[in-house]
Amino acid sequence: MIESLSRNAARNIFFGGSLFFFAIFIGLTAHSHFYIVNESTDKEGLTASVARGKQVWEEHSCINCHTILGEGAYFAPELGNVWKRYGGEQSPEGARMALKTWIRMQPTGIEGRRQMPAFDISDEDLDALIDFLEWTSRIDTQGWPPTIAG
Amino acid sequence: MKYASQRVAYPFFIAAMALFLGQVLFGLVAGAIYFWPNFMAEIMPFHIVRMSHTNLLLVWLLIGFFGATYYLLPEEAETEIYSPKLAYLQLAIFVFAGAAALVSYQFGIHEGREFLEQPTWIKLLLTISFLMFLFNASMTLKKGRRTAISVVLLMGLWLAAIFWLFAFYNPSNLSLDKMYWWYVVHLWVEGVWGLIMASLLAYLLIRMTGVDREIIEKWLYVIVGLVLFSGLLGTGHHYYWIGTPGYWKPIGSFFSALEVLPLFTMVIFAFYMFWRGSRNHPNKSAVLWTLGCTVTAFFGAGVWGFMHTLSAVNYYSHGTQITAAHGHLAFYGAYVMLNLSIMAYALPQLRGKQPYNQILNMWSFWLMTGGMAFMTFTLTFAGIIQTHMQRVIGEQYMATQDYLQLFFGMRLGAGVVVCIGALLYVYAMLGPAREQLPAGPAHVAVGATS
């Protein structure tokens, strides 16, 4: 098959085909952008505190141990649904307290258990971080993860 | 080596190898932390080790690509590099930026998106250096002969720089952030880096097999066509569960499954050209690396990628040790081995010697490749158990991890072997050159000039 194809024909197929698929890709991501902003994520709920929480998440590079929506390192639990796992949907105050206490307790120092470092996070920032995790738990993820374990 | 300015590549390769050793060392530490969780927990927590490991990888691979470009461009364009001085300056900036990132991480100074942890000013330095490189290479190409290899290579590098700009866009909406983050990460490694890989392979095959350029370049266009036809919409396999629309499940599954095709074609390409070629190239270790690169990339990126790319499978396996297994062998096979192939081919000529330390070099090939394969198998087994316990039965994450200890131990062992292989490679390449030629007629070795 390749014998009958000339180099120039192969080149034209490459350039033409790539442009074609790139155009489709751009079109679909443009639609996905619109879909994310208006459908799958909580537009009104994306408060200044949630945005600040995302910054706190990044400042401490949580993603280099944890996953969020399955992306990140695989060294520590998934946090995209941690709000639900801690029962935030039934008892928001209880979940917030539990999460804050857990983060403040680190490192546990338990021998043979993976250690989360102690992070110096103000109370306000910690609340923002938890707002961010709560907001994230409400993203429409097509039903992922399969179990509450994340 | 026909052109004096090809020498520009030499310091690039040395810098790349030094950072490569740093990368595997941090990998070893990360593997040790998995096995002994309290290891260095206070002085160097896991997240710092991991970002050092991944960032060193990206920086040294890019430096390797730059060096490879400077090495082959004069031969392809039949002219000297536009400005060797600019090349050295560009290298200095890139190495400084990479080192500055590494040092700042140890002090907890970093940004927080995976692989894009470099502080903004370092990202800017990397961008400036990258643009200087593109300017230099493009000016060289402009004044010389244009071949399919150099055009596809520079196209890949230009597009890589363009998509890199999405690293500066970080919206507050996590789903949007993730969607555009993949514009850098996926469109690099499963998109435009494929252009770089195919064109560098094509160059190596022309030089080492002696097959007509016409034929090699036709294969090159077919391969890069397959890379982008499958890889662009194949991005959809990252858009299943991050808040993107449901249509990405069929689209991503279909096109990312096709990503196996260009990888398989590269295997056929390399073996067929060596079979067809009349040249008996004396640099046997470079031949081994080149053939090994296509095969390992096919298994690591192709087979291990396909294993969990269909949305129905990925629903269970997403973000487990299966992903880690695939990531390791894919990067090693496709891009690490590609760089090591180019260096194994070019360094004897840069040092003005006949191919040397061939046996040692082949030892490093088998140690590293064997080690990486074993690491991938252990992580795959760990991932299967994790997927079953956590995603099917619903056991908690930390409880699941306790079942994986045995595999993490074996992975650490594999990591030690990889590190030994990497050290051997660098020693074989840069250490004292001893003549180690394969048995055979003397004229074979004499033909080593091209």
B47 vs A24: CB contact, 8 Å cut-off?
A: no
Per-residue pLDDT of B142-196, as tens digits, reads: 999 999 999 999 999 999 999 999 999 999 999 999 999 999 999 999 999 999 9
- Residue B363 pLDDT > 80: yes
For residue B203, give both structure tokens: 């160059």
In B4-128, the DSSP E strands lie at none
B37 vs A115: CB contact, 8 Å cut-off?
A: yes
CA nearest to B225 within chain A: A14
Q: Classify the phi-psi angles of A119: left when phi > 0, otherwise alpha if psi is within -120 to 50, otherwise beta.
A: beta
Q: How many CB atoms lie within 10 A of CB A55?
A: 17
Question: What is the rounded distance in angstroms from the CA atom of residue B26 to the CA atom of residue A38?
Answer: 42
Q: How many CB atoms lie within 10 A of CB B408?
A: 20
Question: What is the rounded distance in angstroms from the CA atom of residue B306 to the CA atom of residue B326?
Answer: 10
Q: Which of A13, A51, A144 sits opposite B318 (nearest CB)?
A: A144
- Residue B393 pLDDT > 70: yes
Report mean pLDDT in 10-residue bins for chain A, 150 residues: 84 97 98 98 98 98 98 98 97 97 95 94 98 98 97
Question: What is the rounded distance in angstroms from the CA atom of residue B73 to the CA atom of residue B149?
Answer: 9
CA nearest to A145 within chain B: B315
Question: What is the rounded distance in angstroms from the CA atom of residue B76 to the CA atom of residue B398?
Answer: 54
Q: How many CB atoms lie within 10 A of CB A32?
A: 23
Tell which A residues from 19 to 48 touch B, by Cβ distance under 8 Å.
21-22, 24-25, 28-29, 31-33, 35-37, 39-41, 46
For residue B320, the one-letter residue type is: T
Please tell me the predicted confidence (pLDDT) of residue B1.
84
For residue B373, give both structure tokens: 């394969």
- Residue B42 pLDDT > 90: no
Kindly list the residues from chain A whose CB atom is less than 8 angstroms away from the CB atom of residue B37.
Answer: 112-115
Please tell me the predicted confidence (pLDDT) of residue A9.
95
Asked whether the CA dihedral B34, B37, B43, B47 is positive or negative, the reply is positive
Please tell me the predicted confidence (pLDDT) of residue B447.
45
When pLDDT is averaged across residues B200-204 and rounded to a whole number, the result is 98
Kindly list the residues from chain B whose CB atom is less than 8 angstroms away from the CB atom of residue A145.
Answer: 241, 318, 391
Distance from CA of A93 to the nearest CA of B (A): 23
Give every CB contact of residue A50 below 8 A, 6+ residues apart in sequence.
Answer: A128, A131, A132, A135, B172
In 3D space, the residue among B321, B323, B362 whose CA is nearest the CA of residue B341 turns out to be B362
Distance from CA of A33 to the nearest CA of B (A): 7
Distance from CA of A39 to the nearest CA of B (A): 9
A4 — contact with chain B (CB < 8 Å)? no
Do B332 and B296 form a contact (C-beta atoms < 8 A)?
yes
Q: How many CB atoms lie within 10 A of CB B189?
A: 21
Give every CB contact of residue A48 below 8 A, 6+ residues apart in sequence.
Answer: none
Tell which B residues from 389 to 428 touch A, by Cβ distance under 8 Å.
390-398, 400-401
Kindly list the residues from chain B whose CB atom is less than 8 angstroms away from the CB atom of residue A39.
Answer: 245
When pLDDT is averaged across residues B36-51 and rounded to a whole number, the result is 94
Q: Please, what is the average pLDDT of chain B?
A: 96
When pLDDT is averaged across residues B384-407 and rounded to a whole number, the result is 97
B239 vs A32: CB contact, 8 Å cut-off?
A: yes
Torsion, Cα of B354, B357, B359, B365 (10° steps): -100
What is the DSSP secondary structure assignment for residue A39, as one 8-state letter?
A: I
Please tell me the predicted confidence (pLDDT) of residue A2.
67
Give every CB contact of residue A34 below 8 A, 6+ residues apart in sequence.
Answer: none
B299 — contact with chain A (CB < 8 Å)? no
Please tell me the predicted confidence (pLDDT) of residue B445.
44
Tell which B residues from 326 to 385 touch A, by Cβ distance under 8 Å.
none
In B331-385, the DSSP E strands lie at none
Q: Classify the phi-psi angles of A72: left when phi > 0, otherwise alpha if psi is within -120 to 50, otherwise beta.
A: left
Please tell me the predicted confidence (pLDDT) of residue B396.
97
Instruction: Give long-range contacts, CB 8 A cutoff, 24+ apart: B176-183.
Output: B176/A33, B176/A36, B176/A37, B177/A54, B177/B113, B178/A69, B178/A71, B178/B238, B178/B242, B178/B243, B179/A29, B179/A32, B179/A33, B179/A36, B179/B239, B179/B242, B179/B244, B181/B113, B181/B114, B181/B116, B182/B235, B182/B238, B182/B239
Please tell me the predicted confidence (pLDDT) of residue B378.
98
For residue B85, give both structure tokens: 């001085």
How much of chain B exceeds pLDDT 90, in percent? Answer: 95
B41 — contact with chain A (CB < 8 Å)? yes
A17 vs B34: CB contact, 8 Å cut-off?
A: no
B251 — contact with chain A (CB < 8 Å)? yes
Per-residue pLDDT of B67-122, as tens digits, reads: 999 999 999 999 999 999 999 999 999 999 999 999 999 999 999 999 999 999 99
For residue B247, give both structure tokens: 């249509």
- Confidence class for position B440, pLDDT limits 50, 70, 90: low
In 3D space, the residue among B95, B77, B217 whose CA is nearest the CA of residue B140 turns out to be B77
B176 vs A37: CB contact, 8 Å cut-off?
A: yes
Kindly list the residues from chain A whose CB atom is less than 8 angstroms away from the CB atom of residue B107.
Answer: none
For residue B8, give both structure tokens: 């520009």
B117 vs A61: CB contact, 8 Å cut-off?
A: yes
Task: Tell me the β-bridge partners of A71.
Answer: A68
Number of DSSP helices (H) and strands (E) in chain A, helices first? 5, 2
Per-residue pLDDT of B339-349, as tens digits, reads: 999 999 999 99
Instruction: Give long-range contacts, CB 8 A cutoff, 24+ apart: A3-6.
Output: A5/B218, A5/B222, A6/B218
Per-residue pLDDT of B9-27, as tens digits, reads: 999 999 999 999 999 999 9
Please tell me the predicted confidence (pLDDT) of residue B446.
43
Torsion, Cα of A130, A131, A136, A139 (10° steps): 150
The position carrying tokens 């927990």 is B41
Do B29 and B49 form a contact (C-beta atoms < 8 A)?
yes
| Cα dist from B47 to A74, B51, B105, B132, whole Å | 11, 6, 9, 32
* Contact pairs from chain A to chain B, CB under 8 Å: 211
- Residue B47 pLDDT > 90: yes
When pLDDT is averaged across residues B265-291 and rounded to a whole number, the result is 96
Kindly list the residues from chain B whose CB atom is less than 8 angstroms away from the CB atom of residue A51.
Answer: 172
Question: What is the rounded distance in angstroms from the CA atom of residue B236 to the CA atom of residue B254?
Answer: 9
Please tell me the predicted confidence (pLDDT) of residue B439.
58
| Cα dist from A131 to A64, A127, A140, B111, B243, whole Å | 20, 6, 17, 20, 18
